[in-house]
């Protein structure tokens, strides 16, 4: 591992190549990154890249290696092997420079019992080098954005969990960073506070910021992320869009069927039909799995049902839940013993 240096390096967002073509520098670029603690291989040779302006969800079970990876990106820990760059700048060699690009929101933030919201933000704005009017403007802007203006004089230890998370996000935004690294920002928030946080992240993404966010609430990540990165036991096991995960493999599809009468007939029919498996019953019919995801094959199944006399009143393909997709990928990994990286 090389010693940190204070020398700056090339960090412009767009590099002109000799060929005349422009190459966009990834907002985050991780290459063969590993982190071993005594007796624990927390991160094992992971590689991924995030384009500027993307929102990426980082998903994994407890202990999978999310916080370790994020702390390295936030220059708070060193990799044992491999490299990580933020906007083209190496996190180990040039941590000071990287810190100007990133806003870091840890999963736990320290308590400052004797400080108000305003004092807290003002303190960090000073620490970041803002002075005079510029500091006042920056703190005011951040309080407005995170809806903390009316709470400016409230003591931090009197804030609710949601308010505290907004304050923590506000702190990470003071220096207007390009890349936000948010470690489980929605943990412990009630549904309203989660919606508010999601709204703020959406605005930040619309402003062109890159957001790297970890969470256990997959459905929410699916709604706000361009893609999801799954990590398991320190290895990346999948990188893809939420839509592709919901669609699942192209080898089968799940269909929910409702019958206008005699719902039990669906199971009887499915059990005698080749290429169709009965999954479970519902009050008005049930779910079946069709051995193909081709539209023509699905249409044929519907036709066969109607021809057999079933009174089909609803027939629609059911998307997989992201949680199911995650569990399925884990199952595939266990069965094959090899990670799937796409
Ligand atoms: P969670 O969802 O519970 O926050 P995580 O995916 O963020 O989990 P990490 O915190 O990165 O997981 O931990 C990955 C592994 O590394 C765990 O086994 C953890 O115990 C171990 N680990 C993390 N930090 C250290 C450390 N400083 N010393 C020793 N082991 C550590």
Give 303-326 pLDDT, tens digit per residue. 999 999 999 999 998 877 788 788
Over range 61-78, report the average pLDDT: 96
Q: Can you spell out the DSSP letters for 9-66? A: ----SEEE-TTS-EEEPPSEEEEEEEEEETTEEEEEEEEEEE-TT-EEEEE--TTSSH
Tens digits of per-residue pLDDT, 129-145? 999 999 999 999 999 99
pLDDT (0 to 100) of residue 243: 76
Instruction: Please state the atom number of ligand 1 nearest to the C-alpha of residue 71.
Output: 11
DSSP state of 116: B
pLDDT (0 to 100) of residue 338: 61
Tens digits of per-residue pLDDT, 2-19? 444 444 444 444 444 455
Tens digits of per-residue pLDDT, 225-280? 999 999 999 999 989 888 777 766 667 888 999 999 999 999 999 999 999 999 99
Out of 25-39, 72-86, 215-229, 301-315, least confident range:
215-229
User: Could you tell me the residue range of the domain that residue 268 belongs to?
Assistant: 249-317
Q: Residue 63 C-alpha to ligand 1 middle, in angstroms?
A: 5
Q: Is residue 105 part of a domain?
A: yes
d(CA 83, CA 216): 26
What end-to-end distance do the CA atoms of the chain give, in Å? Answer: 29
The position carrying tokens 């361009």 is: 226
Number of folded domains that form the chain: 2
Distances (CA, A) of 238 to 60, 67, 242, 302: 11, 18, 11, 33
Indicate which residue's Cα is closest to atom 12 of ligand 1.
Answer: 63
Q: Residue 320 C-alpha to ligand 1 middle, in angstroms?
A: 29
What does the radius of gyration of the chain's CA atoms come to, in whole angstroms? 25
- 66, 78, 215: residue to mutate for ligand 1 pocket, most atoms within 8 A of CB: 66
Asked if 119 contacts 106 with a C-beta cutoff of 8 angstroms, the reply is no
Q: Residue 42 C-alpha to ligand 1 middle, in angstroms?
A: 6
Kindly state whether residues 120 and 241 are assigned to the same domain. yes
Whether pLDDT at 167 is above 60:
yes
For ligand 1, whether the C-beta of 60 sits within 6 Å is yes
User: The domain spanning residue 121 has which CATH number?
Assistant: 3.40.50.300
Confidence of residue 217 (pLDDT cuts 50, 70, 90): confident
Torsion of CA 175, 90, 41, 244, to 10 degrees: 70
Over range 91-114, report the average pLDDT: 89
For ligand 1, whether the C-beta of 67 sits within 6 Å is yes
Residue 101 tokens, joined: 């690009």
Q: How many CA atoms lie within 13 A of 78 on its CB side?
A: 9
pLDDT averaged over every residue in the chain: 88
Confidence of residue 214 (pLDDT cuts 50, 70, 90): very high
d(CA 179, CA 198): 16
**In terms of pTM, does the model score above 0.85?**
no
- 33, 34, 65: residue to mutate for ligand 1 pocket, most atoms within 8 A of CB: 65
Residue 53 tokens, joined: 């302006």
d(CA 240, CA 59): 12
Q: Is residue 84 part of a domain?
A: no
d(CA 248, CA 171): 39
Kindly state whether residues 198 and 272 are assigned to the same domain. no
Kindly state whether residues 267 and 189 are assigned to the same domain. no
> Which residue intervals of 158-190 are DSSP H helices?
161-173
Indicate which residue's Cα is closest to atom 27 of ligand 1.
Answer: 37
- Of 215, 245, 275, the residue at which a domain comes to its end is 245
Confidence of residue 218 (pLDDT cuts 50, 70, 90): confident
pLDDT (0 to 100) of residue 2: 41
Residue 167 tokens, joined: 């304050």
pLDDT, greater one: 340 or 181: 181
pLDDT, greater one: 224 or 204: 204
How would you classify the pairing of strands 210-214 and 55-59? parallel
**Helix axes 191-206 and 161-173, enclosed angle (nearest 10):** 10
Whether pLDDT at 55 is above 80:
yes
Whether pLDDT at 83 is above 80:
yes
User: The domain spanning residue 278 has which CATH number?
Assistant: 3.30.70.920
Residue 270 tokens, joined: 């499915």
Kindly state whether residues 285 and 302 are assigned to the same domain. yes
Indicate which residue's Cα is closest to atom 1 of ligand 1.
Answer: 62
Q: Is residue 4 part of a domain?
A: no
Residue 128's Cβ-count burial label (10 Å; 0-12, 13-18, 19+) is middle
Q: Residue 67 C-alpha to ligand 1 middle, in angstroms?
A: 7
Kindly state whether residues 308 and 176 are assigned to the same domain. no
The position carrying tokens 């498996």 is: 277
Instruction: Please state the atom number of ligand 1 nearest to the C-alpha of residue 38.
Output: 29
Kindly state whether residues 70 and 120 are assigned to the same domain. yes
Tell me what percent of the residues of the chain surpass a pLDDT of 70: 90
């Amino acid at each position: 591992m090389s010693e940190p240096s204070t020398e700056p390096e090339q960090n412009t967002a767009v590099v002109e190549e000799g060929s005349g073509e422009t190459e966009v520098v990834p907002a985050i670029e991780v290459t063969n990154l590993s982190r071993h603690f005594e007796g624990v291989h927390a991160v094992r040779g992971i590689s991924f890249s995030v384009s500027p302006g993307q929102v990426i969800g980082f998903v994994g079970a407890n202990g999978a290696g999310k916080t370790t990876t994020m702390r390295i990106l936030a220059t708070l820990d060193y990799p044992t092997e491999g490299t990580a760059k933020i906007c083209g700048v190496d996190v180990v060699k040039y941590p000071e420079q990287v810190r100007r690009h990133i806003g870091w929101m840890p999963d736990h933030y320290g308590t400052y019992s004797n400080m108000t919201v305003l004092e807290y933000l003002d303190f960090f704005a000073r620490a970041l080098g803002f002075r005079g009017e510029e500091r006042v403007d920056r703190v005011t802007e951040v309080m407005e954005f995170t809806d903390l203006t009316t709470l400016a004089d409230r003591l931090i230890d009197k804030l609710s969990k949601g308010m505290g998370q907004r304050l923590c996000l506000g702190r990470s935004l003071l220096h207007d960073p390009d890349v936000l690294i948010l470690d489980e920002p929605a943990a412990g928030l009630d549904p309203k506070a989660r919606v508010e946080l999601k709204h703020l992240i959406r605005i930040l993404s619309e402003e062109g910021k890159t957001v790297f966010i970890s969470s256990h609430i997959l459905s929410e990540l699916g709604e706000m992320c361009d893609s999801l990165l799954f990590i398991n036991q320190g290895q990346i096991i999948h990188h893809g869009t939420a839509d592709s995960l919901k669609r699942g493999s192209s080898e089968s599809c799940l269909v929910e069927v409702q019958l206008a009468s005699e719902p039990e007939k669906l199971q009887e029919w499915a059990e005698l039909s080749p290429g169709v498996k009965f999954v479970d019953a519902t009050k008005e019919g049930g779910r079946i799995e069709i051995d193909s995801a081709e539209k023509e094959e699905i249409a044929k199944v519907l036709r066969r049902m109607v021809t057999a006399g079933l009174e089909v009143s609803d027939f629609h393909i059911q998307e997989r839940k992201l949680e199911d997709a995650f569990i399925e990928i884990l199952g595939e990994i266990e069965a094959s013993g090899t990670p799937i990286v796409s």
